[in-house]
Structure 1
Amino acid sequence: MDTAEVFLSVLVVVIIIVSLLSNVVVLICFLYNPEIRKQVPGVFTLNLTFCNLLLTVSNMPLTLVGLVNKGQPGGDAFCQLVGFFETFLTTNSMLSMAALSIDRWIAVVFPLRYHSRMRHRDAALVLGYTWVHSMSFSTVAACLSWVGYHQLYASCTLSDVMENSRTQFVIFTVFFHSLTFLLSFVVLCVTYLKVLKVARFHCKRIDVITMQTLVLLVDIHPSVRERCLEEQKRRRQRATRKISTFIGTFMVCFAPYVITRIVELFPSVPIDHRWGILSKCLAYSKAACDPFVYSLLRNQYRKTCRDVLNRLLKPSSLNASGRGHHDHETRVRNNTVQAAAE
């Protein structure tokens, strides 16, 4: 293995560790906090977390094995099964992100009608579509033998293994990525940009009220005025930063891999295998980013994590204090006996 392959192997290991730990933490928070379970977005978050966990434990380690051994991990049937799951889980993850963006759009643009438009039954219907969509493309690819080991990505994924249906495979690949990656990207952009527009409108209204208040309070201290103005600036930047994070991570992680898959359809264009593996690693890294982007950076999840840690550490601290008290009593008793003997 050369230096680039060693770096890619280390990168895959880091992604596996971060993805596994972060998604398990999200799952623990979901199970621990009943308020999170009651919320409709929790359905989409739970589905996204399960997809990321399954992708982490099933596909990422085999990609690492294929990268290290420079060959197919396992037999053809096993690789086809793994490729089927890879296609299904990746598609389901993208559509789950789109569903989360639709939920945020309804909550922000139609706040008074949110509970009537987005109920658990509605979320289940949207989630059902993501499963049907993902299962349809995965099943078609598996039935037509378009799933197998791909040397360019060192993984079991979509691949024209038989090489006797080139035209059909090209049509399927373009159609698949258009209705998965491109559709999810368009939904993310449309919904989150509308959310950003509403957020900026509300920030503007708050800023007007704040400035009117500052004008009336002529005796206000300059430091208080500066803090108010700084808070206005942070409020405007916060909404833009969140929307940029949602859309930016999606594009940075998935776009290189999807573009490489499209370029690969043109045999005259050479693609270095290191770039193919790197694009695959970027796609895998979305499973490590999602817990932070959609869950762990929110106040509700952070508070739940603190509660879980406190609950885990509390018995240990009590036992430690109990042992310390017992040791102290033992030392006092020994000193008393020793003094009496002297």
Structure 2
Amino acid sequence: MATVEVLLSVLMLVIIVVSLLSNAVVLICFLYNPQIRKQVPCVFTLNLTFCNLLLTVSNMPLTLVGFVNKGQPGSDAFCQLVGFSETFLTTNSMLSMAALSIDRWIAVVFPLRYHSRIRRRDAALVLGYTWIHSMSFSTAAACLSWVGYRPLYASCTLSDVTENSQTPFAVFTVVFHSLTFLLSFLVLCVTYLKVLKVARFHCKRIDVITMQTLVLLVDIHPSVRERCLEEQKRRRQRATRKISTFIGTFMVCFAPYVITRIVELFPSVPIDHRWGVVSKCLAYSKAACDPFVYSLLRNQYKKTCGDIINRLLTPSSMNASGPGHHDNHETRGRNNTVQTATN
């Protein structure tokens, strides 16, 4: 096996481990903290977490096996089942990200009417659409025998197995990616850019109030004034950085794979199989990024993780220190008694 192939295998293995652990932590936080479960967006976050976990357990290891063995993992029927699940789970995760962006847009732009606009029933309806959308495309591909092993990606995915319906398969591929990747990307851009606009507006209002306060406080120390101005700068950068993370990770992870799927529809354009596996790894890496982008970097999840760790470590530390501490206390008590009697 060449060095590049070894590196790709290691990369895929790292993605599997990170995705499995991070999504499992999100699920544990969801089960541990009732405040997280009460929030309406948790419906979309939980759905995204389950999709990522199932994709990590079912599809990623088989892609790694197919890449290492340079062949189809399992029978044709098994490969079709795996390809069906990958199409469904990937589509569902993309639409879940779009649903999360819509939820955040309503929460920021219409904060006073958020609870009346977004309820659990509304979230369930949106979630139902994501499932119907995902199931429709994956079922159609399976019924038309457009699911199978694709050597370019070393995985069971969308593929014209019979190679007798190239034009219909090309139309299906373009429509599928337009209504999943492109639609989700447009929703992310529109909603998060509106969120960024509102955030910058509030930052400007806060900056004006801060500057007016600094002007009134003539005797303020220069270091305090400098810290206030630095905080203003960090506040503006924080909003831009968050929005860039949401949209940027989506594009970096999915765009190479989707573009490669479109380019391969033209037989005259050669595509190296290693690039196909790289694009597949990037698409899989979104499952490892999502827990950090949408959950684990938020203060509520950080606090929940800290509480879980403290709860796990406290009993063991008490058991470890309890007997020794008790023995030392008894030894010091006997020594004090002996000294008192001697005196």
Q: Distance in 2 between matches of 1:66 and 1:32?
A: 37
1:224 is aligned with what amino acid?
A: V
- Residues 226-273 of structure 1 show CA distances to partners (whole Å, capped at 9, x for unaligned) of 011000000000000000000000000000000000000000000000
Aligned counterpart, 1:282 = 282
2:309 is the alignment partner of 1:318: no
Aligned counterpart, 1:140 = 140
Aligned counterpart, 2:119 = 119
Q: Distance in 2 between matches of 1:327 and 1:156?
A: 63
Q: Distance in 2 between matches of 1:223 and 1:333?
A: 54
1:40 is aligned with what amino acid?
A: V
5 Å-filtered alignment, 1:108-187, equals 108-187=108-187
Aligned counterpart, 2:47 = 47
1:238 is aligned with what amino acid?
A: R
Aligned counterpart, 1:3 = 3
CA 1:204/1:164 → structure 2, altered by over 3 Å: closer, same or farther? Answer: same
Aligned counterpart, 1:224 = 224
SS in 1 for 2:160: coil
Q: Distance in 1 between matches of 2:228 and 2:134?
A: 48
Aligned counterpart, 2:192 = 192
Aligned counterpart, 1:340 = none
5 Å-filtered alignment, 1:266-281, equals 266-281=266-281
Unmatched segments (≥5 aa) in structure 1: 336-342
Q: Distance in 1 between matches of 2:34 and 2:321?
A: 32
Q: Distance in 1 between matches of 2:220 and 2:334?
A: 66
Q: Distance in 2 between matches of 1:333 and 1:167?
A: 90
Shift in Å at residue 328 of structure 1? 4.0
SS in 2 for 1:148: strand
CA 1:218/1:331 → structure 2, altered by over 3 Å: closer, same or farther? Answer: closer
Q: Distance in 1 between matches of 2:329 and 2:145?
A: 74
2:71 is the alignment partner of 1:71: yes
Question: Considering only aligned residues, what root-mean-square deviation do their CA atoms show, in Å?
Answer: 1.6
CA 1:220/1:330 → structure 2, altered by over 3 Å: closer, same or farther? Answer: closer
Aligned counterpart, 2:245 = 245
Aligned residue pair count: 336
1:4 is aligned with what amino acid?
A: V
1:254 is aligned with what amino acid?
A: F
Q: Distance in 2 between matches of 1:195 and 1:332?
A: 64
- Residues 66-124 of structure 1 show CA distances to partners (whole Å, capped at 9, x for unaligned) of 01100000000000000000000000000000000000000000011000000111000
Q: Distance in 1 between matches of 2:82 and 2:334?
A: 66
Q: Distance in 2 between matches of 1:150 and 1:316?
A: 50
CA 1:158/1:214 → structure 2, altered by over 3 Å: closer, same or farther? Answer: same
Shift in Å at residue 332 of structure 1? 7.9
Aligned counterpart, 2:93 = 93
Shift in Å at residue 204 of structure 1? 0.3
SS in 1 for 2:152: coil
Shift in Å at residue 324 of structure 1? 2.0
- Residues 53-76 of structure 1 show CA distances to partners (whole Å, capped at 9, x for unaligned) of 000000000001001100000000
Unmatched segments (≥5 aa) in structure 2: 336-343
1:291 is aligned with what amino acid?
A: P
Shift in Å at residue 323 of structure 1? 3.2
- Residues 10-59 of structure 1 show CA distances to partners (whole Å, capped at 9, x for unaligned) of 00000000000000000000110101000011110000000000000000
Aligned counterpart, 2:338 = none
Shift in Å at residue 165 of structure 1? 0.9
2:35 is aligned with what amino acid?
A: E
Q: Distance in 1 between matches of 2:230 and 2:271?
A: 49
Q: Distance in 2 between matches of 1:182 and 1:44?
A: 19
Q: Distance in 2 between matches of 1:295 and 1:193?
A: 20
Q: Distance in 2 between matches of 1:172 and 1:266?
A: 14
SS in 2 for 1:266: coil
Shift in Å at residue 322 of structure 1? 1.6
SS in 1 for 2:163: coil
Aligned counterpart, 1:261 = 261
Q: Distance in 2 between matches of 1:328 and 1:46?
A: 49
SS in 2 for 1:145: coil
Q: Distance in 2 between matches of 1:332 and 1:238?
A: 55
